[in-house]
Structures are given as structure tokens and as C-alpha cells.
Amino acid sequence: MTPHADLRLLVIDDDPAICQLLSDLAGGFGYDTTTASTPDEIFERLGGSYALVMLDLSLGETDGIRVMRALAEEQPGANLVLLTGADASVLQGARRVAELSGFNVVASVSKPASLVDLEDILRPADDYLGPQPTAGRSDELDEDAQLALRVGTALDRGALHLVYQPIMSIRDSQIRGAEALVRLAVEGYESLSPEIWVPIVERMGRSSDLLDHVLRMAAHDRLTVPALRTLDSSSVNVSVLDLADLGLPERAERILGRAATPDHWVLEITETAEVDKFADALDVLIRLRLKGFNLAADDFGSGSSTLARLREYPFTSLKADRRFVRTEHHDVEHAENMLRAAVDLGAALGLRVVAEGIETEDELLLARDVGCDLAQGFYIGRPVRAEAFGILVASWAVRVAEDIH
């Protein structure tokens, strides 16, 4: 097959024989392959533009993590395949490093890999064709400034809406709660992840403005939508930056109390920034608890200060991050041990445990087997607008009934 002009592949492995094998396989799919085995070759050839990079983690005189760091400077966001003969924990950790570094991790593979698996990986996806050149810094600044302007305008106009993701009781498989997730109601930006634009709001110093909008919308939806009104609890995300606002407990009680008493609300504390004044944060959290609000440690396991927060803050539940339940990559035992440890920790501290990110039946069964109290994720239901939540609950009830029978 004639190499496709846009399908340039870089194979990095300290074994030339493996480089040749992968090059031969890739040739069958139309790749123009470059290989690198020695440190000099590797760092010299990173400067090219590649549709796909296959990287061995063990490289003799250097290692794959160092190479990733250099590749991120040359081709940020590259499509990356990780290869290693090391154990699963090393591969999982390296994948996480790659994802945090902005790479699109196409696959992570333990050696020796089967030819069938390698062929599946090398079969070109649409994303590989015609990689786009990285924009210059001035363009990036223009895009950032434009997004910041849009977000600021959305806040000023209240151009926001909430979607709700169901939270299921492990005990009886019924939908018992929902998490309110904020979205921009701006044309072209409706699907933009809050992970991208919420930090912009925080840098603007407008986190409290955003929270007030969310509290009012959540109260209105719970008050007016029967499927939300009958839930045991509704959850709202609160940035740690908002814990500096000593007036938050009274404001939350006033706004949310219009729709339900505080014990029907869960405030999920998200760790997107550092707490400047620990005493103020603790003051706010304790007064929220005294008013009856439930407090959840969101994304447990994803932040460096998580254990310290569990020890010092008056949480009532913890939400185990998606990485605790992922069962792909043939690493079920590791996922089970991680999630069981989170459940044991929650039990020791008297906290309910929510398994987040449940995407498959196997992951839901895992959450049930290790003793989680609640579960949330795409397998149970994707986030929907308030008016569609009742349909989602009914659809889930039908699925549960069919499984029973």
C-alpha cells in the first residue's frame, strides 16, 4: 500500500527488531514510519509532525516519561500509544501522566502484544488524518481572551442552565438523587466542558457569582419538576474558593431552602484550587453542617490533599473518582482493591461512598460487590435537562425491572 501523506508514524523502542516489526505492520495500513531506538535518535526525531506516536516506556539509557515530556513541547496533544513490559500499575500510572500532559492516549499495551491487537491500534482513525498544526501563542491568547469574554457575558446575562445526572442507590437500584451540572447556554459553547471554562470564572474572581446562579437554578428546578422534588437529595458543586465567603451558609439556606430543607441537599466540594484560609473554610463548612446540609468530598483520589480534607472537614460522604472503578485494560483486581480501600476508609470515617464514573455493568457490579452506597455514571444515565429527568428515571426503572425478570 502506498503511504498516505498524512499518516506519519513515529515508533520509539530501544529494540530495533520491534521497531522493524511495527514499521512493517504499519506499512500495511499506509503509514510512512520513522523509527528511533537510541536517545540521540529519539530526541532528534521528536521534532516531526506525526499522526501517531508509539512509545515504549523502558528505553535503556532514557525512559518513556522523559520522552513524553519532550514530545509535549514539540507536538502537544499528539495521538499516543504506550507500550511496556512492566506491570499493570506502571502502565496505568504512565497513561495517567500522558493524559494529564494533554496527549490523546489511543491505547496502552502490555508486552508481548498480539498482532491482532497491534493491527487494531494501527488501523487509522479519522482523527489521525491531517493533524492540525499547533497554533502560535498569539492565536492561543486570542482564543483564551475570546472564551473569557463569552464566559463573562454569560454570567452577566445568566446564560446558563443545569443538567442533572442520576445517582442510584446500590441497595435497591432506585434513583435516589441527582447531581446538578452547570452548562453554558451560549451558541457554540453548549457542550464545552466546565473543566475548561469554570477555571476561567475562578481566575476572574467570579466564582461566587457562578455559584449563586447555580443555587437559584437548582432551587427552581427542584421546586417545579416533580421528578426532582421527590428525590432524597439534590447535589450542587461548590468550589473551594467559595469557602472563603463567610456568608455562604446563610445564603445557601435562604436560596435552597425555598425548594427543600437542607438535609435534602448535598454540597459537593470540588478541589479546583487551593484553600487560601483554612480557618475560614472550616468555619463555613461547619456552619453548613449545623444548618443540616450534607457535604461530599468530590473526586476523592484525584487531589493531592484529599486525605487531609477527609480528616479535617466535616464531610458526610465521599465520591470515589472514576479511576477507582475503571475495569478496562484487564486490571479488574487492581480496580477492585482501590475501590474497596475507598469503601473501607469511608466506613472508618462514617461516610457514605458514591462510586462515580460507572460506565459498564461490570463496573456497577464491582461497586455493589465492594460495598459502595451509591453509584453514578453514564451506564445509569447521562446528564439531562430538568424537564427530561422524569423520563430518565422511568427508563431506568424499566431496565431494572427487566433485569429482575
Residue 375: give its domain's CATH number: 3.20.20.450
DSSP-H helix ranges across 101-247? 115-122, 137-157, 194-203, 207-224, 226-229
Half-sphere exposure of 270 (CA within 13 A, CB side): 16
* Model pLDDT, residue 397: 95
Sign of CA dihedral 247, 248, 249, 252: positive
Of 111, 128, 145, the domain-final residue: 128
Same domain, 122 and 162: no
* Model pLDDT, residue 105: 87
In a domain, 234, yes or no: yes
* Model pLDDT, residue 323: 75
Same domain, 34 and 141: no
Same domain, 152 and 268: yes
Torsion of CA 256, 261, 262, 266, to 10 degrees: -80
Looking at the DSSP bridge assignments, the partners of residue 183 are 161
Of 70, 96, 128, the domain-final residue: 128
Total structural domains within the chain: 2
* Model pLDDT, residue 371: 95
Domain ranges, residue 163: 137-404
Same domain, 65 and 180: no
Same domain, 77 and 166: no
Whether the model pTM is above 0.75? no
- Can you tell me which residue has the cell 437500584? 173
CATH number of the domain bearing residue 49 = 3.40.50.2300
Same domain, 155 and 230: yes
Nearest Cα neighbor of 211 from 176, 186, 247 is: 247
Residue 204: which region, alpha, beta or left (left: phi > 0; alpha: psi -120 to 50)? alpha
In a domain, 252, yes or no: yes
- Can you tell me which residue has the cell 480557618? 279
DSSP-H helix ranges across 134-176? 137-157
DSSP letter at 314 equals: -
Contact partners, residue 135, CB within 8 Å, separation at least 6: 143
Of 128, 145, 173, the domain-final residue: 128
Same domain, 256 and 325: yes
Phi, psi of 163 (to 5 degrees): -120, 160
In a domain, 101, yes or no: yes
pLDDT per residue of the chain (405 residues) written in tens, 0 to 9: 434 446 889 999 988 888 888 888 888 888 889 999 998 888 889 888 888 999 998 887 788 888 888 888 888 888 999 988 876 767 777 787 788 778 888 888 887 777 777 888 887 654 444 433 344 444 444 566 778 888 888 998 899 999 999 999 999 999 999 999 999 998 888 888 898 899 888 888 889 999 999 999 999 999 999 999 999 999 999 998 999 999 999 999 999 999 999 999 999 998 655 666 778 889 999 999 999 999 999 877 665 446 777 888 899 999 988 877 776 555 677 778 888 998 999 999 999 999 999 999 989 999 999 999 999 999 999 999 999 999 999 999 999 998 765
Same domain, 19 and 82: yes
Q: How far apart are CA 49 and CA 134, in angstroms?
A: 10
In a domain, 235, yes or no: yes
In a domain, 1, yes or no: no
Same domain, 56 and 122: yes
Same domain, 231 and 352: yes
- Can you tell me which residue has the cell 475548561? 196
In a domain, 337, yes or no: yes
In a domain, 352, yes or no: yes
Same domain, 302 and 326: yes
In a domain, 37, yes or no: yes
* Model pLDDT, residue 291: 96
* Model pLDDT, residue 330: 52
Same domain, 232 and 278: yes
